[in-house]
Amino acid sequence: MLAGFVSFEGIDGSGKTTVSRLVAESLRAEGHTVHLTHEPTKTWLGDAVRHATDDDVGPIAESFLFLADRAAHQTDIRAHLDKGELVLCDRYADSTYAYQGARLEGLVKDPIRFLRRASELWMLRPDLTILLRIPAELGRKRIEGRPNLIRFEDLAFLEKVAANYDRLARSRRFTVLDGTRSPEEVTLAAVSAIRKRLTPQKR
Ligand code: ADP
Ligand code: TYD
C-alpha cells in the first residue's frame, strides 16, 4: 500500500484539481486507499478564507486565515496518515508561500520567510509536492469561464506567484511537471513521481 502525504501545487488553471482526481482514481483502481482533499477547505474556516478574499480584508489578515484553515485541516490529514493512507491535497502550504508571499511584498520583509516562521512549528511537511508548471497566460485562459471563482487572477500577480513557486521548487521535496501536456500525460507522470518517492507500507 502506498502511504504518505502528497500536495499538488500550481497557479490557478494549472490542472491541480483535474490531475489530483485522476491520480486518486488511478491509484484507487490499483487498490490503494487514497484520501483526496483540498484547500481552502469546505469547512467554515475555508468559507471564512473565501469571504476574506472576496471582501479583501488585506494581505496580513488573509494570510493568517489561510494558515488557520490549514491548522484545522491538518488534524484531519494526520488522522488519515495515521491509518496508513495516501493523502493527496489539492493546494497546501506552498500556496500560502507563493500567493501570500506575493501579496505581502512591500508590507513585510522577506514575506516567504515570515510565513514559514509563522507556521513551521506546527505544519505537516508533505513527503512530495508536485508542482504543475504552466505559463500564467495559459492558466488564465483555462479558467476564463469560471464565474467569480478566482480572486487573484491578475496576470502580473499570477506571474509573481509562478516565480515564487519556481523558487520554492528548488527544494528536494518538489517534483516539477510540465502542466501544458494532456491531463492523462500529467497524471501518468504524477503517479510515477508518487511511486518513486513514497515507500509502500505493509497493512
Ligand atoms: P486548477 O485546479 O489548477 O485551478 P483545474 O484542474 O480546475 O485547475 O483546470 C482548469 C481548467 O483547465 C479546467 O477546465 C480543466 O478541464 C482544464 N485542464 C486541466 N488540466 C488540463 C490540461 N492538462 N490540458 C488542458 N486543459 C486542462
Ligand atoms: P482554489 O479553489 O484551489 O482555486 P484554483 O482551483 O483556481 O486553484 O483556491 C482559491 C484561491 O485561493 C486561488 O486563487 C489560490 C488562493 N489561495 C491562496 O492565495 N493561498 C492559499 O494558501 C490557498 C490554499 C489558496
Nearest ligand to the C-alpha atom of residue 100: 2
Per-residue pLDDT tens for 15-48? 999 999 999 999 999 999 999 999 999 999 999 9
- Per-residue model confidence (pLDDT) at position 154: 81
Other residues' Cβ atoms within 10 Å of the Cβ of residue 148? 6
Per-residue pLDDT tens for 163-173? 999 999 999 99
2-11, 24-33, 115-124, 145-154: lowest mean pLDDT where?
145-154
Q: How far is the CA of 141 from the centre of ligand 1 (A)?
A: 10
Q: Is the pLDDT of residue 150 over 70?
A: no
**CA dihedral angle for residue 89, residue 94, residue 95, residue 97, rounded to 10 degrees:** 160
Cα separation values, 168 from 28, 41, 43, 97, 186, Å:
30, 23, 28, 8, 20
Strand (E) or helix (H) holding 154:
none
Cα–Cα distance, 182 to 180 (Å, whole number): 7
Helix (H, G, I), strand (E, B) or coil at 61: helix
Residues with CB under 6 A from ligand 1: 10, 12-18, 142-143, 179, 182-183, 186
- Per-residue model confidence (pLDDT) at position 76: 97
What letter represents residue 46's amino acid?
G
55-59, 67-71, 86-90: lowest mean pLDDT where?
55-59
Q: Ligand 1, atom 18: nearest CA belongs to which residue?
A: 15
CATH 3.40.50.300 for domain 4-197, yes or no, is yes
Mutate which of 8, 16, 18 for ligand 1 pocket (most atoms within 8 A of beta carbon): 18
Q: How far is the CA of 1 from the centre of ligand 2 (A)?
A: 30
Q: Which three cell numbers stand for residue 17?
A: 484539481
Q: Which three cell numbers stand for residue 76?
A: 484531519
Q: How far is the CA of 99 from the centre of ligand 1 (A)?
A: 19
Contact in structure between 158 and 152 (CB atoms under 8 Å): yes
User: Which is the closest atom of ligand 2 to the Cα of 151?
Assistant: 14
* For the chain, domain boundaries: 4-197
- Per-residue model confidence (pLDDT) at position 199: 75
What letter represents residue 162's amino acid?
A
- Per-residue model confidence (pLDDT) at position 130: 98
User: Which is the closest atom of ligand 1 to the Cα of 186?
Assistant: 23
Per-residue pLDDT tens for 173-184? 999 999 999 999
